[in-house]
Chains A and B, each alone.
Chain A
Amino acid sequence: MNLVRAEWERLATRRFMRLMLVLLVLAFAVTAVTTLVGSHRPSPDEIVAAQQSAAQQRQALEDTFQQCLAAVRGTLPPEEAQDYPPNCSVFDPGQRDRLPVAADHLQGVFTFADQARPLLYFLVAFLVLFGFLVGASYIGADLSTGGVVNLLIWRPRRLAVLGAKLGTLLGALTLLSVLASAAYLGVFWLIGQGAGLPGATGGDFWPGLGLIWLRGLVLVLLAAAAGFALATLGRRTAAALGAVTAYAVVWELGLRVVVEVVGLPRGEDWMLSTYLDAWLTGQARLSDATACRGVSGYCDGNYQIGWGLGLAVLLTLVGVLTMAAFGAFRRRDLS
């Protein structure tokens, strides 16, 4: 317990941690202020006009879908029917992520319900970066400056010391994520109430937002553990940054180009970003151009990867890295 307390204090007073917190607050403040400045409370006339536009757009979508169905049934003239595919699900308004709403037609009005998700994704992205960098630098700096050696002379239990560091890091990030998310969404909710529109926050809005937040939190913790493990394996912060940069350049960019040139089926399956997307958004929607080779009829080559597989891949990767880091740290000579 004392070790965790000491690590907590050490983490809280790290200069890099404080710098990242300042950046977080700055990014937060800039986003909030620009939103506030660029938004106004709409007049009743603006709202009515926007509602009408949205209604017209929804009707147009419904009309297109009905036309498609008529084309499939053969009740449409051939010259019009040729514009529609045999499968009308792409036009089905019921299968869209969301239908047009009045807020889509209000210029310069911040609508909380519409913007909450992208704002949350932005926060999650920042926290993931934050978690990775802080995780890597926290142990990397300790290893390269001899701080860990100092500690091990006091507490010669390597796994307990490393475990306390990782546990403290993940605990601190969880707390920070909870506080930052609450403050962040709270401020934008207030902006929506006072200088924009709250939007449709009923139904499954809050549970849906909560689910995204939960997924984001898991991702933040996984990123922190990955940064921590890579820096432990490489004995310094730069090792973690180098590993991620090398992966991004060689694998995500290089291999992607090779896969496209060679025409490998389902090349996206080999990319970590696919599983990140699947976990965070609930489902990665992908397209495989090679799936339609030799198909004469309609073929879009689309396929999905669910959040379950995404989480399994991410957990396995981070789990293997973390176990390797603890194994290496237990055995290695420390200087």
Chain B
Amino acid sequence: MSAVIEIEGLRKTFHGPYRSRHVAVDGFDLLVGRGEIHGFLGPNGSGKTTTLRALLGLVRADSGRMRLFGEDVPRAQARVAARVGAIVETPQFFGNFTGHRTLRLLALAGGVPTRRVDEVLAQVGLLDRGEDDVRGYSLGMRQRLAVASALLKEPELLILDEPANGLDPAGIREMRDLMRSLADAGVTVLLSSHILGEIQLICDHVTIVSAGRRVAAGPVAEVLAGHDQHEWLVRVPEPDRAAELLRAAGLAVDERPEHLVVGGVSDAGEVSRLLGEQGLWVRELVPLRPDLESVFLKLTDGGVRDEEAGA
């Protein structure tokens, strides 16, 4: 699979007043293959938005290499721009412009046929509100408008920074369906989001960033498997005695109020056998598989803001 986005060793430092410096991105790597829906996760201040801005030519990197569709950017930015649709954070629109006019002006500036405006408004479910002023839009509607603006030029790569911001559950679901239909149509999607469950549902690949560095990357299933502790939730009639027995057999046991968490064993039958031999019949035995949230929290020091963690 050819790479649509390649970032190697990206570094960006922001300089503040009184010679203060903040390293936003510190040797970050990212690889996004064609046709992927790629989740981009990290706590606030971890360098996600700076990375996206650098990729779009809005921020100058100090060092590192970035390529879009195999072409070095920002040098080839103008050449590849037509193939990239993007929203970075929640874009602000002029309140007294209608949604339709907002998109029409972008289409004009980008040389896109203005007939696309109605098409993308329909795609994001805003066609019937297209002639309303943007000031009357909810946060979710503005977010849809932003996504519509990114879709105008029928991009091959869609970069979306927190597209679900402000959306209600139904809106999030619609957005998920939209992403999926775009991916089915061959569009590569790079999705930055804090809604980890959403990323797990929609993305096939993921990159996790913390303090400006990549801490995990790969297919979602592989990243999760890499953090599988082989833990099991166990419910038995005499939990104290069961815990003693399992510990004696060399297993790690964490006693919780309602159940035990048993780790260090890959075969559930082993747990069942050890307890059954002593007359303790297991009522419930459930594997505890890691989800993206637990992996994210583990890799990013509990998901605290990197600015705070570094402070």
Listed in ascending order, the chain A residues whose CB lies under 8 Å from chain B are 2-3, 5-7, 9-10, 13-15, 141, 145-147, 149-157, 331, 333-335
Contact = CB atoms under 8 A, between A and B. Distances in A.
Contact of B59 (A6, A146, A333): A333
Nearest to B149: A150
B96 A15 contact: yes
Chain B interface residue count: which class? 20 to 34
B77 A156 contact: yes
Contacts of B58: 149, 152-153, 333-335
Given A150-B106, A156-B81, A145 B56 contact: no
Chain A to chain B: the 6 pairs with minimum beta-carbon distance, closest first: A6-B108, A145-B92, A6-B109, A154-B110, A156-B77, A333-B59
Interface in B58-115: 58-60, 74, 77-78, 81, 84, 86, 88-89, 91-94, 96-97, 101, 104-106, 108-111
Contact of A145 (B94, B96, B108): B94
Interface string B151-167: 00100000000000000
B57 interface: yes
A331 B97 contact: no
Contacts of A150: 91, 106, 149
Nearest to B76: A156
A153 B74 CA distance: 12
Given A2-B109, A156-B57, A333-B53, A13 B101 contact: yes
A161 to B, nearest CB: 8
Contacts of A331: 60
Nearest to A141: B94
A335 B24 CA distance: 14
- Per DSSP, chain A at the interface is helix
B59 A334 contact: yes
A335 B60 CA distance: 12
A156 to B, nearest CB: 4
A145 B110 CA distance: 19
A157 to B, nearest CB: 6
B60 A146 contact: no
8 contacts: A5-B108, A13-B101, A146-B89, A147-B93, A152-B58, A154-B106, A154-B109, A333-B60
Given A9-B105, A147-B92, A334-B58, A155 B81 contact: yes
Contact of B88 (A2, A145, A149): A149
Contacts of B53: 333-335
Interface string B128-148: 000000000000000000000
B13 to A, nearest CB: 11
B91 to A, nearest CB: 5
B131 to A, nearest CB: 14
A2 B111 contact: yes
